[in-house]
């Protein structure tokens, strides 16, 4: 029997759009085993669950992932998972109403008014008292009041009520945003249940923990960690954003390297369920922080993947950010805020990439649908031959302009990366209609089912339409072409960029290395010898090709479009 | 009601307004101190629905914030006293006016409102006492956590029963106060159109009290910021 091929998989962030992913994963696994999985935000949930399913020692992980797909179609599940803190409930109610179906908005507004009846009554009474006092001192009495005066008084009071309502709502929302959001880690939802008595079942992080363990086939008190996955031959990489440092952070078995992150056990109590916390506390010795805080080191390999998933999935304002701590050189603790991975890279398609890959790294992208189709399969597109034509977003208003600025800042790097040759042919794009996914946490079962079926179609497309031989050839051509550009972009000896390396080496670098070698550094001695040999051999090799354009070119027959280049970039 | 009776009641209200403004300013300063620690103000603490929620607030405040909560609760007693005096005198004033105008039912409602204001104050005091006990219980737990940190992962400073009692007391306080305010203000409007409006002199003294209270509040808050 032939061994099953391996693949890697990257999934884009998109909050509730992530319900598309289990279906896609299940279709892909019919042909492939997953070696490495990565993602951002909602894509991180799917990546974690896929890794757990691949890891499952009993081989039934994907059967249980299918159970998860079914679970996601339960009516009202997303609303139960995204549970706001008491003080930010009005904000979430308004958000749900604004992003949900229009028919539900009147009911949502009525609920908000219902909650504000007492302050409204007081304001209205105050307005009446003031008006009556002025009228009374002007000589008006109930007996002297005509029906016209009564109507005028009524209109005045109605106007006063409307203004009062606007003021009360503005004050309440203002307080929720300025005072209550910061106290719930800058998010409406903590991700854990604060009130067991409300009987709504687990909140998001608790639910994630339960399902990760269930899919992996492990008991709840032994959280699945990056080390466990590595032992099962599965690699998981998730991206998040350290907004305090202003940069992305990768969580994997070995990352984040050298950051020295710690967590405050008291803060984590509000964000993670007890089994996770108990595991984390067992992995390291605490260091005292200020104000009596106990700061434990955040492990890498022993980190439960749910913690990394939750850090990647912290959609700003909707879900609480995660506080972590580092120590300054003087020992002073400093708090970092970890927020959504999608802030810096919502589609980290660069993960697991290599010069000439040995297996495909698929990408599942989420995009706005160009038009509404009745068949979900029509909303899934692949571009095996050429990148998708850049989509021009019409901008007709200031909010639209600002939205597009944010989208550009957030996505330009991932978008361009995904269009490159060797990338675009391995990505399936799932088109989502308005009302599907995103912030629509009040989606009905039909909508969720439709998104899930789109995911299945995307999985089928990658499974059936991706051409590995062609992809591998393209990747070879791209790599060798770019390598040639780096070494010698032209056809003559004078074009050799390698010369600049030799010039630098011979103008002093080699002497410094020799001196260090003489001081007893065997590494520098070996490096100097290897450099001399490499430069000589490269020169000799390029010399045999000088002037013979057709023999020197590794470039693909047509220029790369969009253009690409090789350079040193941060590995994150 | 005689002019002197009007004046006495309005002056009492004016004094109560000033006292309320003074105490409210100090509570506001404490509130700012609580929020500077990254925690919420007092209101979410009063209306918390679960022990875990209370624990989150107490931990977010830290020792500095919790000290500010204690300060706020101390000033809150003064504010409660001032507001009870204010509402009772206002309700009695309107009751007197209503009685004089022949609105017996309204007069009776205002007397009930005065009683409700006292009950609201009592609920507020009871709530403050329970909140202080919660703070004390948390401090005792915090003192032990350095040796046994994880044992308290699911242990909370406040039992669920106490949280329920605090929330109920707060609900009584806020609903009664809101109801009393609505009854007094509406009653005031009704009697002002009865042909016997409150004389201008006492009204002016009341407005002067409101102005002084506002000035006191703003001065204290600004001084803090400077």
Q: Identify each DSSP E strand in A399-482 by its residue range.
A: 427-432
Q: For tokens 């600025």, name the residue.
A: A405
- Picking from B35, B41, B49, the nearest residue to A86 by CB comes out as B49
**CA A49 from centroid of its chain's CA atoms:** 15
Distance from CA of B16 to the nearest CA of A (A): 18
- Please identify among residues 112-171 of chain A the ones whose CB lies closer than 8 Å to any CB of chain B: 118-119, 121-122, 124-126, 128-129, 131-133, 135-137, 140-143, 145
Q: Which two tokens stand for residue A128?
A: 């009446």
Is the bond preceding residue A562 a cis peptide, omega within 30 degrees? yes
CB neighbours of residue A522 within 10 Å: 9
DSSP 8-state code for residue A11:
E
List the single residue in A with minimal CA-CA distance to B199: A137
Among residues A367, A430, A495, A567, which one has the least CA distance to residue A22?
A: A430
Q: Which two tokens stand for residue B163?
A: 């949280």
Query: Maximum distance among all alpha carbons in chain B?
Result: 73
Q: Structure pTM? A: 0.87
Whether the CB-CB separation of A51 and A208 falls below 8 Å is answered with no
Q: Do A129 and B189 touch (CB under 8 A)?
A: yes
Chains A and B form CB pairs within 8 A to the count of: 131
Q: Do A145 and B149 touch (CB under 8 A)?
A: no
Does position B172 have pLDDT exceeding 90, yes or no?
A: yes
**CA B70 from centroid of its chain's CA atoms:** 15
Whether the CB-CB separation of A39 and A251 falls below 8 Å is answered with no
From residue B202, alpha-carbon distances to A73, B13, B223 in Å are: 67, 10, 31
From residue B60, alpha-carbon distances to A180, A331, B76 in Å are: 12, 22, 21
Q: Which two tokens stand for residue B198?
A: 């409150």
* Partners of residue A382 on adjacent β-strands: A428
DSSP 8-state code for residue A205:
H
Residue B152's pLDDT band, with cuts at 50, 70 and 90, is very low
Name residues whose C-beta falls within 8 Å of residue A162's C-beta, 6 or more positions apart in sequence: none
SS3 content of chain A, % helix, strand, coil (to 5): 50, 15, 35
Tell me, what's the pLDDT at A551? 56
Higher pLDDT pick, B6 / A257: B6
Q: Do B150 and A132 touch (CB under 8 A)?
A: no
Q: What is the CA radius of gyration of chain B?
A: 21
- Please identify among residues 336-355 of chain A the ones whose CB lies closer than 8 Å to any CB of chain B: none
Q: Which two tokens stand for residue B65?
A: 């914030």
Q: What is the ipTM of this complex?
A: 0.87
Name residues whose C-beta falls within 8 Å of residue A93's C-beta, 6 or more positions apart in sequence: A84, A108, A111, A112
CB neighbours of residue A374 within 10 Å: 6
List the single residue in B with minimal CA-CA distance to A132: B189
Tell me, what's the pLDDT at A60? 96
**CA B87 from centroid of its chain's CA atoms:** 11
A545 touches chain B (CB under 8 A): no
Whether the CB-CB separation of B44 and A86 falls below 8 Å is answered with yes
Chain B partners of A180 at a C-beta cutoff of 8 Å?
40, 44
Distance from CA of B56 to the nearest CA of A (A): 6
**3-class SS at B129?**
helix
Q: How far apart are CA A567 and CA A18, in angstroms?
A: 33
- Picking from A86, A128, A274, the nearest residue to B153 by CB comes out as A274
Instruction: Give the lowest-confidence range in A502-511, B51-60, B216-225.
Output: B216-225
Q: How far apart are CA B126 and CA A541, in angstroms?
A: 90
Each residue's pLDDT expressed in tens, for chain A with a length of 572 residues: 678 999 999 999 998 999 999 999 999 999 999 999 999 999 999 999 999 999 999 999 999 999 999 999 888 899 899 999 988 888 888 888 887 777 777 887 787 777 788 888 898 899 899 888 888 888 888 888 888 888 888 888 888 888 888 888 888 888 888 888 888 999 999 999 988 777 788 999 999 999 999 999 999 889 999 999 999 999 999 999 999 999 999 999 988 766 789 999 889 989 999 899 999 999 988 888 877 788 999 998 999 999 999 999 999 999 999 999 999 999 899 999 999 999 999 999 999 999 999 999 999 999 999 888 889 999 999 999 988 888 888 899 999 999 999 999 999 999 999 999 999 999 999 999 988 988 888 888 999 999 999 999 999 999 999 999 999 998 988 888 888 777 776 666 666 677 788 888 999 999 999 999 999 999 999 999 999 999 888 888 777 766 665 555 666 667 777 888 888 888 88
Q: Do B186 and A278 touch (CB under 8 A)?
A: no
Tell me, what's the pLDDT at B118? 97
Chain A partners of B49 at a C-beta cutoff of 8 Å?
86, 194-195, 197-198
- Please identify among residues 16-35 of chain B the ones whose CB lies closer than 8 Å to any CB of chain A: 35
**3-class SS at A504?**
helix
Does position B144 have pLDDT exceeding 80, yes or no?
A: no
When the pLDDT of each residue in chain B is averaged and rounded to a whole number, the result is 86
Q: For tokens 């306080």, name the residue.
A: B173
A274 touches chain B (CB under 8 A): yes
Residue B151's pLDDT band, with cuts at 50, 70 and 90, is very low
Tell me, what's the pLDDT at A324? 96
Q: Do B181 and A122 touch (CB under 8 A)?
A: yes
- Picking from A125, A183, A269, the nearest residue to B181 by CB comes out as A125
């Amino acid at each position: 029997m032939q061994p099953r091929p391996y693949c890697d998989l990257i999934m884009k962030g998109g909050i509730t759009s992530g319900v598309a992913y289990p279906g896609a994963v299940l279709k892909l696994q019919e042909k492939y085993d997953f070696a490495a999985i990565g993602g951002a935000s909602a894509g991180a949930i799917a990546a974690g669950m896929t890794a757990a399913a691949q890891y499952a020692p009993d081989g039934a992980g994907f059967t249980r992932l299918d159970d998860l797909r079914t679970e996601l179609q339960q009516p009202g599940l997303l609303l139960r998972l995204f549970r706001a803190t008491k003080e930010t409930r009005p904000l979430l109610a308004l958000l749900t109403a604004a992003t949900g179906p229009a028919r539900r908005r009147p009911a949502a507004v009525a609920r908000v008014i219902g909650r504000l009846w007492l302050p409204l009554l007081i304001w209205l009474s105050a307005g009446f008292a003031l008006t009556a006092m002025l009228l009374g001192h002007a000589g008006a009495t109930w007996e002297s009041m005509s029906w016209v005066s009564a109507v005028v008084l009524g209109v005045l009071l109605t106007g006063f009520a409307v203004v009062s309502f606007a003021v009360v709502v503005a004050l309440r929302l203002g307080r929720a945003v300025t005072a209550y959001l910061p106290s719930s880690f800058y998010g409406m939802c903590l991700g854990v249940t604060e009130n067991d008595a409300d009987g709504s079942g687990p909140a998001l992080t608790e639910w994630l923990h339960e399902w990760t363990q269930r899919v992996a086939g492990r008991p709840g008190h032994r959280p699945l960690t990056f080390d466990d996955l590595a032992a099962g031959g599965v690699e998981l990489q998730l991206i998040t954003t350290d907004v305090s440092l202003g940069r992305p952070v990768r969580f994997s078995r070995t990352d984040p390297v050298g950051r020295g992150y710690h967590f405050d056990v008291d803060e984590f109590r509000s964000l993670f369920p007890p089994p996770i916390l108990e595991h984390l506390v067992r992995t390291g010795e605490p260091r005292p922080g200020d104000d009596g805080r106990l700061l434990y080191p955040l492990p890498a390999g022993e980190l439960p993947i749910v913690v990394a998933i939750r850090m990647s999935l912290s959609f700003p304002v909707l879900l609480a950010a995660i506080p972590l701590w580092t120590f300054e050189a003087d020992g002073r603790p400093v708090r970092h805020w970890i927020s959504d991975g999608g802030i810096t890279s919502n589609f980290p398609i660069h993960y697991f990439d290599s010069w000439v890959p040995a297996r495909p790294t698929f990408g599942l992208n989420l995009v706005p649908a160009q038009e509404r189709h009745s068949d979900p399969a029509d909303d899934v597109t692949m571009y095996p031959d050429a990148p998708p034509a850049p989509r021009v977003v019409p901008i007709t208003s200031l909010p639209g302009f600002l939205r597009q600025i944010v989208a550009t800042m957030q996505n330009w790097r991932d978008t361009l990366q995904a269009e490159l040759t060797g990338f675009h042919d391995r990505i399936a794009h799932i088109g989502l209609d308005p009302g599907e996914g995103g912030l629509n946490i009040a989606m009905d079962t039909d909508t969720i089912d439709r998104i899930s079926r789109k995911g299945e179609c995307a999985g089928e497309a990658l499974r059936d339409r991706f051409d590995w031989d062609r992809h591998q050839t393209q990747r070879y051509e791209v790599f060798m072409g770019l390598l040639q550009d780096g070494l010698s972009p032209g056809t003559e000896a004078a074009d050799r960029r390698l010369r600049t390396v030799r010039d630098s080496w011979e103008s002093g670098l080699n002497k410094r290395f020799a001196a260090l070698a003489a001081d007893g550094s065997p590494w520098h001695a070996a490096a100097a010898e290897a450099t001399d040999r490499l430069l000589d051999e490269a020169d000799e090799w390029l010399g045999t090709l000088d002037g013979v354009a057709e023999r020197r070119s590794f470039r693909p027959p047509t220029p790369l479009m969009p253009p690409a280049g090789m350079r040193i970039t941060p590995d994150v | 009601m005689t002019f002197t009776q009007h004046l006495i009641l309005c002056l009492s209200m004016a004094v109560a307004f000033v006292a309320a403004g003074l105490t409210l300013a100090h509570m506001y300063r404490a509130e700012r101190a609580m929020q500077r620690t990254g925690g919420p103000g007092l209101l979410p603490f009063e209306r918390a629905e679960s022990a875990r929620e209370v624990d989150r607030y107490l931990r977010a405040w830290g020792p500095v914030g919790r000290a500010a909560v204690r300060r706020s609760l101390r000033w809150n007693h003064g504010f409660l006293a001032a507001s009870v005096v204010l509402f009772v005198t206002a309700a009695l004033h309107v009751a007197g006016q209503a009685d004089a105008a022949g609105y017996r039912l309204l007069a009776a409602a205002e007397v009930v409102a005065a009683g409700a204001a006292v009950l609201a104050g009592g609920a507020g005091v009871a709530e403050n006492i329970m909140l202080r006990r919660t703070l004390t219980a948390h401090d005792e737990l915090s003192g032990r956590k350095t040796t046994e940190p994880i044992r308290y992962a699911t242990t909370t400073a406040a039992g669920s029963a106490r949280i329920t009692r605090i929330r109920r007391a707060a609900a009584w306080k806020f609903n009664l106060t809101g109801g009393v305010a609505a009854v007094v203000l509406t009653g005031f409007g009704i009697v002002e159109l009865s042909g016997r409006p409150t004389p201008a002199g006492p009204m002016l003294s009341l407005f002067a009290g409101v102005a002084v209270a506002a000035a006191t509040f703003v001065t204290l808050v600004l001084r803090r910021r400077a």
